[in-house]
Amino acid sequence: MKKIPYLLFLSLSFFGCQQNTLTQHEKMNGYTLLFDGKTSDGWRGAYQTQFPTHGWAIRDQELLGELSAGKESGDGGDIITLKKYKNFDLQFDWKLGKLGNSGVKYFVEELAQKPQNSSSLIGYEYQLIDDPDFIYNDKHLPEDHKTGAVYNIIPPNKADVRVGRWHRSRIIVKNDHIEHYLDGKMIVSVDRESVEFKKGFQQSKFRDIPGYDQRKEGYILLQDHGHNVAFRNIKIKELD
């Protein structure tokens, strides 16, 4: 079967297909939905057995973080997948408002017991944020805090993202190799054994977390960072 170019695939998904469904091409290539547009099936709250009763909602085929506390896990809390993933191709659409901040994390570990005053669960993060307007420690964002970064480790190769509109992102993990895409363009490609990754890790706030740079699998997480966020068309293919 002839392979559909990814940029055409992206265009069809945005403009020519029903939301939160798989095309025949995706089905034949092993993708599954992580959000069906109607239910919270496949997700639960971090440190919970059920989906949160507040803070997250499903409306108009969108998974909405209706969050306003302005801090990590200060409202509805993070939500995570029911299962863990190792090697995968994850795709999702997202939208933030002005000064918005959120993220999609992978290789997430949930501790046996929730710490007191805990913030967001730790994992590798595909950052989602209002690049040009967000102020961090009284300054504009450093590059490794911008949308599409492996947060606080590897900066993305792109221009600032404008919020208030839908974007499509993609994360591909194959053993130690990580790729991040934004609107059909690769913006991060890094190997965890590379000098670039090791240098980024050593200057990050994660450097003292045992085994963080060697994580092999974990939950996928949608972050409550206290700002409204919307997701749709979340789909994944597990890789060999």
Q: Which of 168, 157, 156, 98 is nearest to 127 (CA)?
A: 156
Q: Could you report the per-residue pLDDT of 4-17, keeping only the tens digit for each? A: 455 544 554 554 56
Average pLDDT, the chain: 89
The verdict on residue 176 lying in a domain is yes
**Two structure tokens written together for 112:** 């046996």
Number of domains in the chain: 1
* C-alpha 60 chain-centroid distance: 21
Among the ranges given (63-77, 80-94, 117-131, 197-211), the one the predictor scored with the smallest mean pLDDT: 63-77
- Alpha-carbon distances, residue 91 vs 70, 197, 234 (angstroms): 26, 23, 6
The verdict on residue 1 lying in a domain is no
Residue 66: per-residue pLDDT? 83
Q: Which of 165, 163, 134, 161 is nearest to 148 (CA)?
A: 161
State the CATH number of the domain containing residue 107. Answer: 2.60.120.560
Range of the domain at 42: 6-238
Q: Could you report the per-residue pLDDT of 118-164, keeping only the tens digit for each? A: 667 999 999 999 999 988 788 899 999 999 999 999 999 999 999 99
